[in-house]
Amino acid sequence: MARQSEGVGYNRPRLALHVPEPKYRPGDQVDFSHIAVPEAGAQPRPDETGPASETSPLCTDLVRVLGEDHQAHGPWDPRLAPEQLRAMLRDMALTRAFDERMYRGQRQGKTSFYMKCTGEEATSIAAAHALASDDMVFPSYRQQGILISRGYPLVEMINQIYSNRGDKLKGRQLPIMYSSRAHSFFTISGNLATQVPQAVGWAMASAIRHDSRIAATWLGEGSTAEGDFHSGMTFAAVYNAPVIFNVVNNQWAISSFSGFAGSERTSFAARAIGYGIAGLRIDGNDPLAVYAATRWAADRARSNNGPTLIEHFTYRAEGHSTSDDPSQYRSAQEREEWPLGDPINRLKQHLIALGEWSEEQHTDMDLALAEQVKAATKEAEKNGILGHGMHHPFHTMFEDVFEELPWHLEEQADQAIRERQIKWPQS
Amino acid sequence: MASVVDSDAVSLAEAPTRSLNMIEAINDALDIMLERDPDVIVMGEDVGYFGGVFRCTAGLQEKYGKTRVFDTPISECGIIGVAVGMGAYGLRPVPEIQFADYIYPGLDQLISEAARLRYRSAGEFIAPMTVRSPFGGGIFGGQTHSQSPEAIFTHVSGLKTVVPSTPHDAKGLLIAAIEDNDPVIFFEPKRIYNGPFDGYYDHPTKPWKDHPDAKVPEGYYSIPLGKARMVREGQALTVLAYGTMVHVAEAVCREKGVDAEILDLRTLVPLDIEAIEKSVEKTGRCMVVHEATRTSGFGAELAALVQERCFYHLEAPVERVTGFDTPYPHSLEWAYFPGPVRIGEALDKLLGA
């Protein structure tokens, strides 16, 4: 339609649509100096039981503990014992080794799909260490670190990734969409942010039952644009639900930068202010900050002081998934220029600075972890890899749609088995 | 699970009964389940202190307290999403969606989540929720308070869909739905909340009071999901209907003196295919009636099933009588509604063939 050139309103100013654009595209020189990185230890730590408004300044600040000197600073220092720091380091390194191997496995054709969490390990692993092991987690798709922290067997993870006959989920789910009730780990959905109101509902149920367990959920900054996120926030605020919302702001939602979820105007933690709940914006590559913030939020929830939104400011160092090629839409320099460093390296350097770790120990650990992953992979491969026939029996395709098989699924199961006999008469 | 079907209704006949309308019968079912099972939670917009815009939850918050029966924010996505989480915890939520027309913001949580939890987690997590929602038109509700979206749900693997047509069935089916470990969509035809509607909107509606199906046994009973009800036996044709249309079809057949066999399907998924086959094989003619829009409606599924399974018994093409493929218009709702004229015309066509 042509612009209105006469009649009512013709002399009003022209409107213009703003379409966000990231600062850097492929080939661009990257300069992240516009990202404010405050001094570690400079942020105040309000009491966990205080009013939510006390956290409002922290929603646009950045809680940091580990400084450039590799020491822990300030009131958010969780003062963890060296054994606990080493356990966190090990879980992060194991997750990275696992990601490396699974990524290669996908490239070798052993499965259809994989998603790494490189650079974001702290956001799940340090959080898992700060929660009780029976607190219920409602993860998104990049929190494999929680399962690893909770001791879920690597072989089971690989069986799931290969969709083989050992897969406890019977080959029904896309790789990495794990589920483990025994590890208080909710079944992962491929639809984004649906887990947010679910975590709130679980937390409400726990409160209805006067239980002591709380819920925690993770989602990316991109999916905070989903209605489910806002529904979940509303319900959590209304019923003071014992739940922690972890927004992992890794800057990129596939090829869309965080501006498409609203980051040009304010932080994601600041969403908490509008809902009247506690909010913290933290250095997501600082495992001690993640641990401390999670512990703060967990203590708050456990003492009936309500929900907390934590924004983990971090960077997705790799592609969205094996189906993605980030060199098509962002500058390769971003990863190296990222001002908050790498979470594994930062914790390693901290332990070394404490005199509790060494380069040699770290190298030995990495070798041992790579061996551990390799052995688990070999073990899982005995159950088959995707597309090589070692899947669950045909009939399982029709099971668990309902508790009991209705007549129409029974008929369709018969058909599937008949088709199989026609396609593979020898089997 | 204790259950009552038509064939073993004898023991029920001995139970004391009360004459209830459908709202009271639903309230009774919720009351009984809240009493019997501490996992049952009732929630939804205006269901708490006020007792629901149709009064189905009246008095329940006072009796069971604010953490078992409570109001929710106006967010159907939130209501269903929270119910999924509660089910994962081990509760048995019974959320109310105030009008079926409002259910769409909750569809992702119903279709991608509630309906898929058992499958995708290989049984580790289930969604034992019953979503109650008033549906259907005939109350001058306009296009956003009149829809019949059942076919959206019957198309989804993993959901059960139930539509009662009498106070007796509403109570027994709702109890069965709440006890069911799969997610159930429970559509309550609001035109017949207060009385069985014969399709003549200009006649005063008779209350349920003296209707035989308003005699509701006291206490606990359940009607298994997946079993149709034989409304009346006949030889001339089989009418497949549910909800409000059961009563309209029955009135038209009575009026025209047609010896119809009328099956009230009660549950659309799982469907009582045996009852349908048995009846159509006997009568050789079949008419499907629903209030929802025609194209891709549940009637299409019924017509296809009858054609696939009873073709050599059919003496005429299956007739579909449905609402038109328009939004439900406010001023012309009776022109939309598949009333006596539309049903009568289809009967003539089917029996003349």
Tens of pLDDT, residues A242-257 = 999 999 999 999 999 9
Three-state secondary-structure class, residue A166: coil
Q: Which of A189, A198, A401 sits opposite B158 (nearest CB)?
A: A401
Q: Which of residues 388-427 of A touch B (CB under 8 A)?
A: 400-403, 406-408
Q: What is the pLDDT of residue B14?
A: 75
The reported pLDDT for the residue numbered A427 is 66
Q: Which residue of chain B is at minimal alpha-carbon distance from A199? A: B85
Give a three-class secondary structure readout of A82-145.
HHHHHHHHHHHHHHHHHHHHHHHHHHCCCCCCCCCCCCCHHHHHHHHHHCCCCCEEECCCCCHH
Spatial contact of A147 and A180, defined as CB atoms under 8 Å apart: yes
Q: What is the H or E stretch that residue A423 is in?
A: helix A407-423
H/E segment holding residue A201: helix A195-208
Q: How many contacts does A have with B, using Cβ atoms within 8 A?
A: 142
Cα separation, B31 vs B58, in Å, equals 10
| Cβ–Cβ < 8 Å for B124, A180 | yes
The one-letter amino acid code at A208 reads I
**pLDDT for position A390:** 82
In this complex, the residue of A181, A234, A402 whose CB is nearest that of residue B75 is A234
On the question of pLDDT at B23 being above 80, the answer is yes
Strand partners, B320: B288
The answer to whether residues B94 and B69 touch, using CB atoms and an 8 Å cutoff, is no
Low-confidence ranges of chain A (pLDDT < 50): none
Strand segments (E) across A270-307: 278-283
Residues B34-42, mean pLDDT to the nearest whole number: 98
| Mutation for A interface: B77, B97, B162, B269, most A CBs within 10 A | B77
Residue ranges and CATH numbers for the domains of chain A are 52-381 (3.40.50.970), 394-423 (no CATH)
The whole-angstrom separation of Cα A238 and Cα A274 is 13
Mean pLDDT rounded to a whole number for chain B: 95
Residue B15, pLDDT score: 86
Residues of A in contact with B118 (CB under 8 A): 400-403
Residue of A nearest to B70 (CA): A239
Query: What's residue B3's pLDDT?
Result: 42
- Give me A283's structure tokens: 């250095």
Amino acid at B343: I
ipTM field: 0.96
pLDDT at position B5 over 50: no
Report d(CA A257, CA A269) in Å as an integer. 17
Structure tokens at A318: 């790799």
| Chain B contact for A179 (CB, 8 A cutoff) | yes
**Nearest CB to A232 within list B78, B88, B93:** B78
Q: pLDDT tens digit string along B203-258?
A: 888 999 999 999 999 999 999 999 999 999 999 999 999 999 999 999 999 999 99
Which domains, and CATH codes, for chain B? 10-217 (3.40.50.970), 229-352 (3.40.50.920)
| A74-111 burial code (b ≥16 CB/10 A, e <16) | bebbbebeeeebbebbbbbbbbbbbbebbbebbeeebb
Q: Supply the pLDDT for residue B11.
A: 57
Residue A180 has a pLDDT of 98
